[in-house]
């Protein structure tokens, strides 16, 4: 197949800037990526790359644009797309008032297809090329999602929600039914093209101990699948878990005792965690999805990101739509920054972009596959226009320093700054010409 070359200012990470500072940042102004069969096969200074590969390749030149790895959203709910920005409630009432009624609509497969189309287009419009996605309890929600994602050639991970108590009966499965439906989806979709399955108990309050055992069995029988759930998001939720599982040492022990914590397990939120729970994440190589727009929007609390990094926990970013209030991981950084400010801490743009790219890949055990502009990686990348809006253009008029430019872009930017999104080297989103 044909060779293509993308030219622009390349920015990605070779390590974790929370630990290595700017040494982890790889910036190549006027660089170029060579792409063949959807993968990056070479990178370097534009002049050198064009001299070596230019003759037989299709060359696309972006001037004064940043080329970064495709964004990775490690926590988002497909069925909550159409109820994003629902007014006035905190987690437990928000679930019963807004989320559960919306999820009931996914009994209809056609509805799931329609929402999946919109959802995936919205992700690509925001530069997100991989996401770890909650469906609903209905297996057809995830079957429809995978079908649409496959047609677009995307790398996506999703799972059918398992919940057998403390929610509307219409949304309940049973331990056996949840097991069988998940197993069938794994057999049909896990490892097909770039798709992967995640066993998805919603959270401790909505799964009986028997259902958590069924989740464990699924993980044991399918070692390469993911596990995703929620933990320690909201104080009323934490109290509820204590009363439902009186024998568990803490919230995380519910999942730990059930055998659900391992590499490729991703816990959303983790705001109110004890040192024991943090140590437990570390011990089991379990990652945390930090979802600042959600934590602020539904009033859950302030995530201590620096403490997690000090404890070497793998943290990545999640939008948590529709508890979260934006599909944009740039806007998600904006709020992550403010969450740290409220705790007297600083978050650099490099740290933020790391969490959105290589940090996401590491949390999903996909380093070397996505998350970097590295030889051998899939060519999922985003072309960012730092001067996409009049305000950004004005703000950046006399700015040349990389961090200042990136920080302003991430604070003020959103989908307007996404000029193009590439998946496997192909354009899957292109912004309207200005
Ligand atoms: N905890 C359990 N279910 C949910 C959900 O749908 N959204 C959020 N933010 N937290 C949850
Ligand atoms: Fe969530």
Residue 211 phi, psi dihedral angles, 5° rounding: -70, -40
pLDDT at 434: 57
Domain shared by 26 and 136, yes or no: no
Residues 253, 293 share a domain: yes
For a ligand 1 pocket test, name from 89, 96, 99, 163 the mutation site with the most ligand atoms within 8 angstroms of its C-beta: 99
Report the percentage of the chain scoring pLDDT > 90: 99
Which two structure tokens, joined as six digits, stand for 309? 């990094």
Is the domain of 113 the same as that of 205?
yes
Is the Cα torsion angle 401, 405, 378, 360 positive or negative in sign? positive
Question: Residues 289-332: pLDDT tens digits?
Answer: 999 999 999 999 999 999 999 999 999 999 999 999 999 999 99
**What's the Cα-to-Cα distance from 11 to each of 63, 132, 162, 346, 383, rounded to whole Å?**
14, 24, 39, 21, 10
173, part of any domain: yes
Residues 306 and 389 in one domain: no
Domain co-membership, 28 together with 162: no
147 and 24 in a common domain:
no
Q: Is the CB of 422 under 6 A from ligand 1?
A: no
Total domains, the chain: 2
Task: Reply yes or no on whether the pLDDT at 60 is more than 90.
Answer: yes
Q: How confident is the model at residue 66 (pLDDT cuts 50, 70, 90)?
A: very high
| Domain co-membership, 282 together with 403 | no
Domain that holds residue 10: 3-70+373-430
For ligand 1, say whether the CB of 12 is within 6 Å of any of its atoms.
no
Instruction: Using the mean position of ligand 2's atoms as its centre, give its distance from the Cα of residue 409 in Å.
Output: 26
Model-level ipTM above the cut of 0.85: yes
Q: How confident is the model at residue 21 (pLDDT cuts 50, 70, 90)?
A: very high
- Closest to 324 (Cα-Cα) out of 81, 71, 72, 106: 81
| Start-to-end Cα distance in the chain | 32
Ligand 1 neighbourhood includes 269 CB (under 6 angstroms): no
How is residue 291 written in tokens?
């979802």
The string of pLDDT tens digits covering residues 156-169 is 999 999 999 999 99
Which pLDDT band, with edges at 50, 70 and 90, does 1 fall under? low
| Tens digits of residue pLDDT in 338-379 | 999 999 999 999 999 999 999 999 999 999 999 999 999 999
Same domain, 399 and 351: no
In short, whether 98's Cβ falls inside 6 Å of ligand 1 is no
Query: Does 322 sit behind a cis peptide bond, omega within 30 degrees of 0 on the bond before it?
Result: yes
Do residue 62 and residue 112 come from a single domain?
A: no
| Domain identity same for 292 and 165 | yes
Residues 51 and 87 grouped into a single domain = no
Query: 269 pairs with which residues across the strands?
Result: 231
């Amino acid at each position: 197949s044909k060779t293509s070359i993308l030219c622009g200012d390349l920015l990605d990470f070779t390590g974790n800037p929370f630990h290595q500072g700017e040494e982890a940042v790889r910036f190549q102004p006027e660089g170029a990526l060579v792409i063949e069969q959807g993968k990056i096969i070479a990178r370097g200074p534009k002049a050198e790359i064009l001299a070596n590969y230019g003759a037989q390749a299709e060359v696309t030149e972006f001037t004064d644009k940043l080329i970064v790895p495709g964004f990775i959203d490690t926590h988002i709910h497909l069925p909550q797309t159409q109820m994003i920005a629902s007014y006035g409630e905190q987690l437990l009432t928000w679930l019963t008032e807004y989320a559960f009624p919306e999820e009931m609509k996914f009994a209809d497969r056609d509805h799931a297809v329609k929402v999946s189309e919109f959802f995936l287009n919205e992700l690509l419009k925001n530069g997100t090329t991989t996401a770890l996605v909650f469906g609903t309890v209905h297996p057809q929600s995830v079957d429809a999602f995978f079908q649409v994602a496959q047609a677009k050639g995307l790398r996506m991970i999703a799972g059918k929600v398992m919940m057998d108590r403390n929610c509307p009966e219409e949304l309940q499965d049973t331990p056996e039914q949840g097991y069988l439906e998940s197993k069938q989806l794994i057999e049909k979709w896990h490892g097909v093209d770039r798709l992967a399955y995640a066993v998805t108990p919603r959270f401790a309050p909505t799964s009986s101990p028997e259902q958590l055992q069924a989740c464990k069995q699924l993980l044991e029988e399918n070692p390469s699948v993911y596990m995703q759930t929620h933990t320690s998001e909201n104080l009323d939720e934490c109290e509820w878990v204590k009363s439902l599982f009186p024998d568990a040492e803490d919230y995380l022990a519910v999942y730990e005792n059930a055998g659900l914590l391992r590499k490729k397990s991703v816990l959303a939120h983790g705001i109110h965690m004890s040192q024991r729970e943090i140590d437990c994440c570390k011990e089991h190589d379990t990652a945390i999805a930090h979802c600042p727009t959600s934590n602020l929007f539904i009033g859950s609390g302030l995530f201590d990101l620096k403490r997690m990094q000090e404890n070497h926990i793998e943290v990545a970013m999640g939008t948590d739509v529709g508890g979260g209030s934006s599909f944009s991981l740039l806007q998600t950084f904006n709020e992550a920054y403010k969450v740290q400010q409220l705790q007297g801490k600083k978050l650099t743009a490099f740290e933020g972009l790391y969490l959105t790219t290589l940090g996401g890949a590491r949390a999903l055990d996909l380093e070397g596959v996505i998350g970097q502009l590295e030889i051998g990686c899939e060519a999922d990348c985003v072309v960012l226009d730092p001067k996409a809006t009049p305000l950004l253009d004005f703000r950046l008029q006399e700015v040349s320093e990389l961090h200042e430019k990136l920080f302003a872009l991430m604070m003020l930017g959103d989908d307007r700054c996404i000029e193009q999104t590439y998946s496997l080297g192909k354009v899957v989103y292109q912004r309207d010409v200005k």
